[in-house]
Amino acid sequence: MSIKSTNITAVAHRVPQEERWRAAGHRGGVLWFTGLSGSGKSTLAFELEHRLFAKRYNVYVLDGDNVRHGLNSDLGFSPKDRAENIRRIGEVAALFAEAGVIVLSAFISPYQRDRDMARKAAGAQFHEIYLSADVSACEQRDPKGLYKKAREGKIPDFTGISAPYEAPAAAELVVDTANESIEACVEKLMAYVDEKFGFTQG
Amino acid sequence: MSIKSTNITAVAHRVPQEERWRAAGHRGGVLWFTGLSGSGKSTLAFELEHRLFAKRYNVYVLDGDNVRHGLNSDLGFSPKDRAENIRRIGEVAALFAEAGVIVLSAFISPYQRDRDMARKAAGAQFHEIYLSADVSACEQRDPKGLYKKAREGKIPDFTGISAPYEAPAAAELVVDTANESIEACVEKLMAYVDEKFGFTQG
């Protein structure tokens, strides 16, 4: 029994991050997309996920679809709940990064304060990616008809219309989704990931 | 502009799970360890993580260390908070499983109801692993001196002493950590993972 007890303490350590990175051929980390509704966050995140997966990166998208119905299903849309929504996503993204995955988070995340918390959780492997399309460009697209509803007053506190969006003060990368094609944006992101996360390119 | 808008809808889909599994060479899923304090959850989880990593499995341990200080740092130890603690861990484990990772969760999780919620979140890839060491075996080891403190009344609601532990009714695997060596337990778990998650063995 005493030997077993000794072992219990001895083996309880994690696989070192450098070993994970070496085995995967790339670093883990967070690409935190931020931008208005309609700026292309989900589009770019999913397209990037496909491309990175094809290059054998471990990659995963966190978005409203897989977070709001599960982990954050207890949260509403009050200011407090919105902040908690982003806080939890930041913490989950940090866990994925620690596991060696490149996680792409696709949430409006309009407040710098909330994005800074997510950055703090993930540490050095956090990259803030600002999709810089402005309200007029996003409203012109309005793929889900949300801007129309917001203008009609049917959606309260809609970012860019009736609630503020704080553009990142110092994003690691700015992608101009108003004026560049999706293909050009994806190419830019792929080059960024290869440079910042890839070992084969370094 | 109109072509871009069309693309926005077209590309927003995930990498299919089967493609992830094929690329990784194994399925993703959850090994949900449950058992008393001192039953060997963390020990076995970390040892298994090392062994699976060496066999090139994508694997990651969720435990109090990386969850309580981050994602669940807002939670205390009230019954409500304890349930919420396990609920969130179950949801995060499900996300990791969807990302193709084998996640090993190492929490006492004393209530069947809470474990059933975690199972529901992860679906078919959820495996409940019961570490069946009983109170007397765990108390004899008491690696952190917690049972002693609990007996002295210094820790309220201590599972197995002053709070109930509901043994799993239908665990996928029972590991007898009271009577088998750590090595034997790990071997059993490795064989289980290869059988249930590995494609190379199938």
pLDDT tens for residues B120-172?
A: 999 999 999 999 999 999 999 998 999 999 999 999 999 999 999 999 999 99
pLDDT tens for residues B61-94?
A: 999 889 988 999 999 988 899 999 999 999 999 9
What average pLDDT does this structure show over B5-10?
41
The alpha carbon dihedral of B51, B53, B57, B62 has a sign of: positive
Strands across the sheet with A59-63, in order? A59-63, A102-106, A29-34, A126-131, A173-175
What are the strands, taking DSSP E only, across A18-101?
29-34, 59-63
- Per-residue pLDDT band for B192 (boundaries 50, 70, 90) equals very high
ipTM of the assembly? 0.92
Is B22 touching A (CB cutoff 8 A)?
no
Reported pTM: 0.93
Out of 3.40.50.11540, 3.30.920.30, 3.40.50.300, 3.40.50.720, select the CATH number for domain B16-197: 3.40.50.300
Is B176 touching A (CB cutoff 8 A)?
no
Among B9, B50, B100, the residue with its CB nearest the CB of A143 is B9
**Chain-chain contact of B94 with A121 (C-beta, under 8 angstroms):** no
**Chain-chain contact of A99 with B9 (C-beta, under 8 angstroms):** no
* DSSP H or E segment with residue B175: strand B173-175
What average pLDDT does this structure show over A64-92?
94
**Chain-chain contact of B92 with A71 (C-beta, under 8 angstroms):** yes
Residue B109 annotated in active site: yes
Selected residue of A13, A14, A89 to mutate for chain B interface (largest B Cβ count, 10 A): A14
Is B54 touching A (CB cutoff 8 A)?
no
Domain range annotation of chain B: 16-197
Query: Nearest Cα to A39, choosing from A148, A150, A185?
Result: A185
Domain range A28-197, CATH architecture: 3-Layer(aba) Sandwich (3.40)
